A and B are shown apart, each in its own frame.
Chain A
């Protein structure tokens, strides 16, 4: 400790005596060893943090023009888009940022599925991550309601009414959430408060916990073997390299690629063909006119497809909730000895591949109308979705125990 504290003279020494800046950098960056075999999947953690910061910054500026309220919300967003200098850019960055947040988070989660990053000793790291995901879903939902377009209104109607299916307390709960007999001023102002104040705080706190838990266990890697079990003479992992400068530099490449893609969407296709911002949301909310086809934004559609696939309303809502909550139990459902898919058998690979395809198919089906062949497909993929969680304990136990290498596989470039 004193070695770093004494470094430098004058102001730096004065500062470090009062605030452990150098110590923090040494502990968390230059002295934090991460596996040397990270691949492209390892971009998405730092990118998720980047999008979070971008959403906070654009959010602060969008909030300066937004007026929560039935009569004012839609007009204030239109005013921001049309009359405020660069207001269109702020609004598009914030709205497109929400979709990019979910793209990054889904890829980050897929990485954990591939390399078993949720398995012990990282169960809590995964659970905290899933709590971030849940908070993010609430944050995104409320953010979608706030501009009070017609899809905002009807989407909120559908989602809030889901709580009405809870036996006994349902109807009172719905009234309590809305603060009125229907969606109105009270609903918008409380959603605004939660979206701008409460949930960002919760998400920031959970991100901090996620990082603390990550520092405690260290990162997993594509081989799924613990680098801490193979220490060199200096007590550092033989297969580890300091996070800074090696991975900070690598992440900057990821940031560059990400911002390029983000800018292309924001400037050229901000609505992304109705996927990131839906057509009916460019009309004001109208309680006497349901859009012909209500679909949530793409990142919620896998669960929405499950909800609609079930012919019984309560059962549908229950399965939908279960399909989200199931992620939390993953660390205990996967009973393989090996973490990474690289060292699991064909059955595990087929199972995981099917799950990825199922998730994407449900995502697509949730955007389609609920009739004819789409209902049948949604039912088939709903069964496959839950089949993954039911089969995982057996498949993982049966074919996830082969030999693993002692050291990570790594090829110098």
Chain B
């Protein structure tokens, strides 16, 4: 026992060394914890098969009557395709003053759809049929003058959930809870009558 008497004296603690070691251990542990979290967080992103199911959708436009709307699915979203008549296109010019974003400055659409008709070809309107308010499906109210929607209704879309109103270019009216216009998905044409939803016009070959 007495041999070890000297060991009982407590050596002086090097406080700065201890602090450094504590900080280094805690820091390394924290970095490790954050890096370990990455795969867990990333596992919530769309899987490979979900991404594969998001391939482009093709629409044959020759089957559509003027003034008709068809709906399609692309990436689990409803896509509205409207073959607009000249009267429908003419209706777009009458109500710019009543719109929140008439020139689509704040809204989300590809560059090639950032024009008055919000389309590559004015007669073909392609929209994501998801209300920009909270994601309901806007319903078609194409009849001009439908007073159940609003006075001087030019024709367009009406969301039944919270009452947002959009014209025939998907532009939102003042007084709607939605603040921006309906989104335009990336799309392009192959030939005269084939619409491809999900492929950008700039990326596709030989398209205006």
Interface residues of A (CB under 8 A from B): 154, 157-158, 160-162, 175-177, 179-184, 186, 190, 287-290, 292-294, 308, 310-314, 316, 370-371
Q: A288-B137, A290-B139, A294-B161 are in contact. List 5 more A-B contacts (CB 8 A).
A: A158-B134, A181-B77, A186-B50, A190-B44, A313-B178
Closest Cβ–Cβ distance, residue B46 to chain A (whole Å): 5
What are 12 A-B contacts defined by CB distance under 8 Å? A160-B135, A162-B134, A180-B47, A182-B76, A183-B76, A190-B44, A308-B162, A310-B177, A313-B132, A313-B133, A313-B179, A371-B163
B160 at the interface (CB under 8 A from A): yes
Closest Cβ–Cβ distance, residue A368 to chain B (whole Å): 12
B45 at the interface (CB under 8 A from A): yes
A181 near B177 with CB under 8 A, answer no
A-B contact count (CB 8 A): 79
B44 near A181 with CB under 8 A, answer no
Main secondary structure of the interface of B (DSSP, over half): loop
Residue of B nearest to A312 (CB): B179
Closest Cβ–Cβ distance, residue B23 to chain A (whole Å): 29
Instruction: Point out the residues of chain A lying under 8 angstroms from B139, CB to CB.
Output: 290
Q: Which of B44, B77, B133, B136 sits near A154, CB closer than 8 Å?
A: B136
Interface size on B, residues (CB 8 A): 27
A-facing residues in B123-154 (Cβ within 8 Å): 132-137, 139
B76 near A180 with CB under 8 A, answer yes
Distance A221 CA – B120 CA, assembled complex (angstroms): 70
Q: Which of B44, B77, B177 sits near A177, CB closer than 8 Å?
A: B44
A288 near B136 with CB under 8 A, answer no
A-facing residues in B154-169 (Cβ within 8 Å): 160-163
| Residue of B76, B77, B78 most packed against chain A (CB within 10 A) | B76
Instruction: Point out the residues of chain B lying under 8 angstroms from A154, CB to CB.
Output: 136, 161
Instruction: Point out the residues of chain A lying under 8 angstroms from B50, CB to CB.
Output: 179-181, 184, 186
Q: Which of A157, A162, A175, A310 sits near B46, CB closer than 8 Å?
A: A175
| Residue of B45, B47, B132, B178 most packed against chain A (CB within 10 A) | B45
Interface residues of B (CB under 8 A from A): 44-47, 50, 54, 71, 75-78, 132-137, 139, 160-163, 175-179
Residue of A nearest to B41 (CB): A176
Distance A179 CA – B54 CA, assembled complex (angstroms): 13
A290 near B162 with CB under 8 A, answer no
Distance A197 CA – B54 CA, assembled complex (angstroms): 30
Distance A181 CA – B177 CA, assembled complex (angstroms): 23
Q: Which of A157, A175, A182 sits near B136, CB closer than 8 Å?
A: A157
A179 near B179 with CB under 8 A, answer no
Instruction: Point out the residues of chain A lying under 8 angstroms from B47, CB to CB.
Output: 179-180, 186
Tell me whether A316 and B44 are in contact in the complex, defined as CB-CB below 8 angstroms, given that A181-B77, A290-B136, A292-B160 are known contacts.
Answer: no
Closest Cβ–Cβ distance, residue A277 to chain B (whole Å): 20
Closest Cβ–Cβ distance, residue A208 to chain B (whole Å): 24
Tell me whether A161 and B134 are in contact in the complex, defined as CB-CB below 8 angstroms, given that A179-B47, A288-B71 are known contacts.
Answer: yes
Distance A186 CA – B76 CA, assembled complex (angstroms): 13
